[in-house]
Structure 1
């Protein structure tokens, strides 16, 4: 399992370009006994693996449980001195190499024990591309990965120092991610004649200041909202007022209605501020991911399962929700399920965080993640796959 993880770490690929990653996953699956006809390409560079039980059928209707791992890397350079350091322009600085390996390890146990699982039951493994953007969940769904699925589960590593091992809760767990784009139009002119122009730069600066006031003055304080303007561009010469400026950033919330209210307020603030300064403002929103909302029954199931496996003191909600976004949210719009976190803090490397150039997955937790996947199937399908 560690060797798998280090291989994927060494050869990461970007979103919707995960061809070698896809091929390696297929190669490993075949080597552990998976039949080729059980493996299907999905969303171009993803895979759907259907593992049907081969045991005696029972009276229950057919059930399909889906387990998902994301497989893409980030467009960044790794800053680690490792034998398996990234050899490409991408890097697994979010731990997806670990996610792949944990699900493959669980797959090995599933395949070896299909005779212990009823023929009515199927495990569906989703190896999903492009989680980091533009999003691979929707293409996977559009290709039919959720057809017949009863429940879906996903996990993510979280290398922060918190007591315990598992973080899970019902309801909002991760925020939405919406891009906001504001184009401010004025009238250009010579830098020596500001009285002859409509100043798009000043109007944009005023809009920026007013946007920062939205959270504190226009949104009730109990709502968690993050509005970040991260780009401000305009102009091309020191003696010319530009005719337009451009602002861009992101909005993150845990409630779709709050997001809609916030969008309405941003439009009003941008347009009225621009008009007051003789300019106009065009506002555009691009929704990337909706809020990730866990279903109550499945969240309680994961809480109970992991508490029984590791002890109740190792399971909790501390640190949730988080303002990051995840396209697993799309799966949960279609099917009941739960997304939870495996705490992977490494005391030997305390300064490693997700999306930092020095990140590396804590291999000591790989077996734990694989174990959780297997326990989910044991509980859901009422079978025994592991020898304690």
Structure 2
């Protein structure tokens, strides 16, 4: 067997999971041996009798330590293999590529498109590859050649999300083609967004909330006062303003959130007079609003699954109910809360339980109007429902 490849014999439970199509490899599957495989090692997974099951790679990331890529023992992980995967994914996004109203979306979504540990996003001719482990990054040369085989591009950027401590690997994000001029203006359902492909791990817009932003603009914003907590660059606020909101308030702890939000309003030719912005912790802002007797018609609550400031650490699994209850207490009766989480370890059932707990804490009554998840360009493998990380509940306040 060639260097960089190894055989791994799995126990009964792991064998059963692989046979059902489950793509994620777990660290405990490799315990009991000498040393874990080197990042990028090609793994031939065997059953208890030594029979071939599947083939994948070793790559440690925040969940698991690699992914199954094929059930063909003879399939090489080469330029041709990756080009076929990319081509299939691109064909599924044909309607998005043809759209004049949307020029930013995901073109390859990890295990949902057949290669766990990698995502590729499209920004009006530019592509951004995000690597989630050193293991998948070891195939970088073949994947970049495959991308060039499948599509023409203006330029390619990359994001490395595999530092041991979990922080972003900071070096030049530009890969090849032509460097972009930033901010780059892209469109999502006709809304313009200023993005930066060369400025750290995030670009200025979270693409998985496209459907929710459109729903806010088209259905919930007209004539409303809007509070956008954890606002980042104000994308929800812009959608609400374009939908006819009479005032928006954007709250985020990052100092740069204010100039970036102002920029998003300007590129959409929106006035800033009723676009209020605060650099403040969300809990603190809600307490401030309660003290001032401020109530909102529409609140968007989209925190990260984990966040730390000098005074507070937020974990969705522990703190979401308390945060939601704070938001509930500054929502008008008849008003709407859009509660969202991207925590993959929180199921929809658990998320609904957070809502129930928050209602008890705040004393109000709510009904769920709508539920949203990932948009169509974020496919989820049937064998790996844990990939359905985004949960969004749109709720109406019935009574205080």
The structure, 1 or 2, with the larger RCO (C-alpha pairs under 8 Å, 6+ apart) is 1
Q: TM-score, normalised by structure 2?
A: 0.25
Instruction: Identify the structure with the greater strand proportion.
Output: 2
Q: TM-score, normalised by structure 1?
A: 0.25
Instruction: Identify the structure with the greater helix proportion.
Output: 1
